[in-house]
Every structure is written in structure tokens, then in C-alpha cells.
Structure 1
Amino acid sequence: MNKKGYSRSFISLWIGEIVSEFGGAAGGIVNGLLLYEITGSKEWMGALWLIYFLPSLALQGISSPFLNHVIKEKMLKNIQLIRSGAYLLPLLGYLSGEDYITIIGLIILQCLLGLVQPIYASLSFSLLPDLCTEKELVQANSLLDGTLRLMSFIAPGITSLLLIFSPIYVIYIISSLMFLLSYISLLQIPQNSVEKIATWSKKFWWEELKAGYFTFFQYPHLLKLTILSSIVQFAVGATMVINVPFIRGELNGQAWEYAVFSVTFPVGYAIGMLLLTKLPKNNLLMYSGLIGGGLSFVLLYFVPTLPLAWACELIGGILFPLFNAQSAAYFQREAPRERLSQLSSIRLLFLRLTMPLGILFASVSFLGINTRLTYLLIGTFIVLPGLYFLIKTIINRDSSAKHIRNIV
């Protein structure tokens, strides 16, 4: 990062991400509460998430060519306006007093959120190289990722306090306002992208779709980093299933002790984000962070007490940013700039697909394998490829150094 700090455009994007993450997290909590209050059904809760998740994945799989031909800054702003308006739909149903109108509003809201989220994430990821210098990319990715993870546990806490003093519908107003504030913040980003005029047809879309995936697989380093990040997401999905039974069952923890366990990872992530600003950015550090993060899962197989489990989560939170931020920056630097939006969408598709696979793996294994062994397995999945690439990096570096000495 240069002495002048980040650009004003990046700060605007960062602020927009913070307030929208708060609005989304708060809205997600009251969506579940409101639906359960009306239906009292866990099946409806599952259906609500499927309504979000399935159309989202379907659109992401087919929309990537479109992302190369939009004005990114304008699209991001429009998406925040759509989200702001969408959060008023269940509010209108709630105020009408008709349960079926409220449910319809929730369904439309979840569907809209699921459709626009992958587009927003892909475009904001691909816009980052336009707002930062190459040297700033690692720290910029770390700052964004770390801040969003902090908001993921700060926002539910604040929302819980608000619900003590105010009715549910007030949270919908707050969520809508948060996305409107995000839109206002994004207005400060100057429009540098140029809309590429394309004659849209089925043939053109198919050719562009094939070209995007072909380009993606033509860059083995980008594919490798995407696969490694996907393995991490697979592990994250698995822990969503086993964390509660591990703390409450294996270690006989109380509810508040599980809450501490949940908080330690994002707190560690914020520490890791700060640590990364002081460390050299290179492949050795990146793969070391991946290995260390994987080992934090492996160690949960052995820990006998809650404080040690908290320590493992804290260590994992500190180490994973060393990999996540650098791998994201590598992708942004090395991917062809003219196809970065499309390739970012493909990368995100890999990451989003592996999380439900992790959930499925842990759900099935939980029936025949205890939670500790599941931690050991997912940690090993991360550590082994990390060790391979770390050793390969060391060998290549030593070979390069030896070659230079021979030349001299």
C-alpha cells in the first residue's frame, strides 16, 4: 500500500460492502424469525433457503458471458437499489396483516437476493484491480474479506439487541436503508468501465460461455488457486454441520460457550488481516497460511477442552487470511482483464458449489463417523495439497537461486 493509502473509490466500495453486509445479515435473521412465526415449520425454513440457493446457482452458471459486457459500476449500484426495494416486500405483507402476502413477499425477496448476489460478488471482485494498484491488491482483499467476516457476527448481535426494543418490521426498514446507503456510497466510484456492445443471440451466448470456461482452464495457476479455495469452502460447509454437536455434545459446552467458539474465528481473521499488512507477500506465506489453517481443523480432533477448541478456531482465523487474500490477488492480477468479470463468476461458482458438498459430506459422515474424525478429514484435505505446493515452491525457489549462482 502506498503512503497515501487506498483510493477514494476503494473506500467507497468498502463502506458500501460494510453497510450492505450489515443489512443483509440483519434481514436474514428476521426473515427466518418471521417465517417461523407464521408457519411454525422447519420445512418452510428449508424451502426458503432453497428458493435463495437454487436459482442463484442456476443463474451463475449461465450468466458469466453477460458480465463481460456491462458497466460494472452502474450494475453494482442498480443491484443495491434492487435489494433496498426488495426488503420492503415482506414489510408490506407484515403490515397488511395477511400471512399469505407476507410469505409471498419473503419468497420474492429470497429469490431476488439469490439472483443478484453472485452477480454483485463477481463484479465487485473484478472491479477491485481498477480501484487499487497491484501492490495494494492483497491488503485490499484482506481488508474487504476480514471486515465482512467481522460484520457477520457483529450484525446478528446488534440485530438481537434491536429486536428486544423494536418489532420485526423495523429491522426490514433498517435493512432497506442499509442497502440504500450502500448505493449512495457506490455513487462516489467514477464510471471507468465501458459497455461492450454485443449482438446477443443464443449462438453468441454459447460461444462466449465456452470461451470463458476455455480461458479459465487455460490458466493452470488460476485453476489451482480456485480448487484450493474451493477445498477451504468445502471444509467451511462441513463445519456448519458439526460445530454445534462438537461443542455441545463432545465437549459438553453451554450455549454461551458455543457462541464464544463461533466468534473466535472472525476475531482471528481480523487479527490475520492486520498481520498480513506487516508480512512479505509471497507463495511461501500463502501456502503456509493454507497449511496452518488446515492444521487448526486437524487439532480439533485432539483437543480435550473448550479453551483449546477456542484457541484452534482463533489460530485458524489468523492463518487463513494469509492464503485467502493472496490467492484472490493472484487471480485478479493474472486473469485476462477483458474477461475478469466472467472468470470471477466462474471462480465464485466453484466456491459456492463446494460449500453444499461439504454440508452433505458432514451430514452423511455424521451418521457413521464422529465429529472429531470429520474435523481430521477436512483438515487433511486442506493440509496435504498445501504441503505439496509449499514443498514445490521451495524446490523451485532453490533451483532458481542455484541457477542464478551458476550464471554468476
Structure 2
Amino acid sequence: MNKFSKSFKALWAGEVISEFGGAAGGIINGLLLFELTGSKEWMGILWLIYFIPSLVLQGISAPFLNHVVKEKMLKNIQLIRAFAYLLPLVGYLIGSTFTTIFGLILLQCLLGLMQPIYASLSFSLLPDICDEEELADANGLLDGTIRLMSFLAPGATSLLLVVSPMHLIYGLSSLMFLASYFALSQIPKTSTKKVAAWTKKIWWTEMKEGYKTFFKYPHLLRLTILSSTVQFAVGATLVLSVPFIRGDLNGESWQYGIFSGAFPVGYALGMILLTRLPKNAQTMYFGLIGGGLSFVFLYFVQSIPLAWICELFGGVLFPLFNAQNAATFQRDAPRERLTQLSAVRLLFIRVTMPLGILFASSSIFDLSTRQTYFIVGSVIVLPGLYYFVISLLRPDSRLLTQQEKQKIS
């Protein structure tokens, strides 16, 4: 951590704090809505309200993002989130069920709209505040600690619920996002360019140019598609995890809790492993293959401890792919269009998650839980194996480290 700049440390602190606050608030959203409605259908509606506007904005926001001051926009988003978490709290304090539900809906909508903008801007800011050779480690550190927070937040929230009324957790989430705002305020402005005024012509021209530029870089498109296969599998596991542990393996609720927590714990370990391995194409594709095999292995396991090990195994290996994949994109995409292309990349990745959910929950294919795990794992493993072999036979200079390029030259 000491090798990174002060700006990166500020971004890291802001991300970690907000992730904890968001995870805690997300848990309370579901609990509060179910307490008020007793309906699982409302739970689905709440997630759709988050997801659909988020994907729509993801698709059309790319042209704007090249014309904003990233550091300022990141801070403003955290302020909006901080105030948004007060909306259901106000409804609850008023004592109106309608106002509370409306506050929850508005909160989810705002969170869904803010997330793609925040993720694209923070992703594109990293090359401005980190040296090129630090990008893989920086991405791994951010991704790993964020996932670790998603594991720690539910347990911490459960303990808070023992001593605090449920609705007051919203106040905590709001304070966490406010703290994130102050952490991000430590990042100095890295760009001095003048922000262009918005017009419909600029938007449409930039929209076409952004997607056209994205497809001019086939190796970045390839890595984005590989990341999309991972998100497809993640979407499927949202449907599969509970029936697999509780149904196929006849496990208890606490055993499912360990199963769901094994992956983020493994991911934090994988982040540490990444700092000790060479940053090259072979390591990256090895992480992709190993992570995919963790899904395939679930087809065969007959005991819950082995299922825990599979999840831990996947968590350890996926950072080797994800962090280097992100670093390659940040390094090779045109710097003047990185923010815009990051939004396009994120759209490709995020849209596959609901496809994975539909695939796993659809009755059309008539697949068992184990068969679905095998298929989604194979979707990751097969292209990973192909590109691993290609990287050995025909190294792509764009995926080599500086040391490897020097050896070749």
C-alpha cells in the first residue's frame, strides 16, 4: 500500500467506505421492504428498479463522461448517495408505509443511475493517479478490498441490528457515503481541459465515435467479452447458490452463509497472491481458467465442505484475470477517450449478468443446478484455454509487461 500515491489511497479509502455503507444499506432495503409488504414480488421489483435504469444510462452516458471533471463528479455522486439513503428513513420516521416504500423506490432508482457513472469514472481515473506498472496491483487491491467489504458488511450489519433499530442503519449508510465524499476530496484535479458544453449534436457524434473506437481495438474487445462470460456465470450463481446448498446438498442456512462468504474471502487472498506473481498473459488466462473450473467442479462435488473449497478456489484465482484485464484496458485504450470507452466496456460486462439470471432460472432448457454450473463454467474455461495456448505460441506484445518487451527486443 505504501508504494501507491496519496491520490490512489484517497480513492481506495473512498471506495472501501462507500462499499461498506452500500452493502449495509442494501441489506436493510430488503429487510424493510419485506417487513412492510411481506411480498417476494416486491423484492424482484426493487431490483428491477435498480437494474433497468442503470443499464439504460450505462448505454447512453458514454458521450458525456469524456466531458466531465472526474474527481468532482465522483464527489458529487457520493453526496447524492448520502442524501438518497435518508429518503426511506424520513418515510419511516413519518410513519407512512407509502412514503417509506416510495423512498425505497427512489433510493434504488438513484443508486442504479449513479453506479455506472461512478464505476466508469473511477476506473478511468486510475491511470491518472497510478504508474503504468502499478495498474494491475492497484486494480487487484481495489477489487479485492471491495469484495472483502461485501463479505464483512452483512456480519457487521447483523451485529448492529442487535443493538439498533433497523431504520437507523440508513443513517449509518448516509454517514459512510459522506465520509467517502471527504476521502475523495483529497484527490487533486488531474485534468485541466475545458469541459465542453452539451449539445444534441455533440452527444450523437460522441456516441457513434465511442462505440466505433471501442471496436477498433480487437484485443480490448476480446478481454471485455471474456469478462462478460464471468459476469454471465455470476448472474447464474445468484439463482443457483441457494438451491444448490439447501436443495442438492441438503445444507443448513449457516452452511449457505459460509458458501456465499468463501468467494470474497478467497478474492482477498487472490489479491495478495497477485502481488507475488508475474503480470503476464499466461498468469491472466490461468486465473480465468481456474476461476471457470471452480464452477465446473461444483457439478461433481457431493459434500458441502468441498463446495466451500470450490468457491474459495475460484475467489483466489479470478483476481489474476480481473486485475490484469482491467489494467490492460486502462493502459491500451486511448487516454483521451478512456472514460467513454470504460462506460462502453462496463455496459458489455453488466448486461450479461441478467442474461445469466434468465439462463439459470428459465425452464426452457430444463437443466439441473449441477448441469447449469457445468455449462456456465465451460463458457469461461474453453475460451480461456484457447487464449492461454495462443499466448504461449504467439505472444501478444500488448499484453506483455515492460520487462518481457525488453527481453524480446
Q: Which TM-score band (shorter chain)?
A: over 0.9
Query: For structure 2, which runs of at least 5 residues remain unmatched after alignment?
Result: 398-404
Shift of 1:7: 0.5
Q: Could you tell me which residue of structure 1 aligns to residue 400 of structure 2?
A: none
2:352 is the alignment partner of 1:335: no
SS in 2 for 1:326: helix
* Counterpart-to-counterpart distance in 2, 1:233 and 1:56: 16
* Counterpart-to-counterpart distance in 1, 2:132 and 2:53: 35
Quick one: which amino acid aligns to residue 300 of structure 1? L
Shift of 1:45: 1.6
Shift of 1:351: 1.1
SS in 2 for 1:240: helix
Counterpart mapping for 1:9-408 below 5 A: 9-364=7-362, 368-397=366-395
Shift of 1:188: 0.5
Shift of 1:192: 1.4
Shift of 1:200: 2.4
SS in 1 for 2:44: helix
Shift of 1:397: 4.1
Alignment RMSD (CA, Å): 1.8
**When the two structures are superposed, what TM-score results if normalisation uses the length of structure 1?**
0.95
* Counterpart-to-counterpart distance in 2, 1:398 and 1:22: 38
* Counterpart-to-counterpart distance in 2, 1:197 and 1:183: 22
Q: Could you tell me which residue of structure 1 aligns to residue 402 of structure 2?
A: none
Conserved? CA contact 1:70–1:195, under 8 Å: no
CA deviation digits over 1:41-87, x for unaligned, max 9? Answer: 22222111111111111111111100000000000000000100111
Conserved? CA contact 1:365–1:374, under 8 Å: no
Greater Cα offset, 124-133 or 98-107? 98-107
**When the two structures are superposed, what TM-score results if normalisation uses the length of structure 2?**
0.95
Shift of 1:308: 1.2
CA deviation digits over 1:6-37, x for unaligned, max 9? Answer: 11110010010011001101111111111111
- Relative distance call for 1:294 and 1:366 in structure 2 (3 A) is farther
- Relative distance call for 1:362 and 1:115 in structure 2 (3 A) is same
Q: Between the two proteins, what is the percent identity of the paired residues?
A: 70
Shift of 1:366: 8.5
Conserved? CA contact 1:73–1:193, under 8 Å: no
CA deviation digits over 1:180-231, x for unaligned, max 9? Answer: 0000000100011235432422222111000000000000010000000000
Greater Cα offset, 101-110 or 141-150? 101-110
Shift of 1:159: 0.5
Shift of 1:398: 11
SS in 2 for 1:189: coil
* Counterpart-to-counterpart distance in 2, 1:106 and 1:321: 33
Shift of 1:237: 0.5
Quick one: which amino acid aligns to residue 225 of structure 1? L
* Counterpart-to-counterpart distance in 1, 2:372 and 2:105: 34
Conserved? CA contact 2:75–2:185, under 8 Å: yes
* Counterpart-to-counterpart distance in 2, 1:347 and 1:196: 25
SS in 2 for 1:302: coil
Quick one: which amino acid aligns to residue 141 of structure 2? L
Give 4+ residue runs of structure 1 displaced > 4 Å after superposition.
none
* Counterpart-to-counterpart distance in 1, 2:363 and 2:148: 30
SS in 1 for 2:61: helix
Conserved? CA contact 2:69–2:195, under 8 Å: no
- Pairs aligned (count): 400
* Counterpart-to-counterpart distance in 2, 1:43 and 1:50: 11
CA deviation digits over 1:147-194, x for unaligned, max 9? Answer: 011111100110011111111221011000000000000010001123
* Counterpart-to-counterpart distance in 2, 1:323 and 1:58: 27
Conserved? CA contact 2:151–2:265, under 8 Å: no
Greater Cα offset, 304-313 or 67-76? 304-313
* Counterpart-to-counterpart distance in 1, 2:197 and 2:141: 39
Query: For structure 1, which runs of at least 5 residues remain unmatched after alignment?
Result: none
Shift of 1:365: 5.3
* Counterpart-to-counterpart distance in 1, 2:129 and 2:201: 34
SS in 2 for 1:368: coil
* Counterpart-to-counterpart distance in 1, 2:25 and 2:364: 31
Shift of 1:107: 1.4
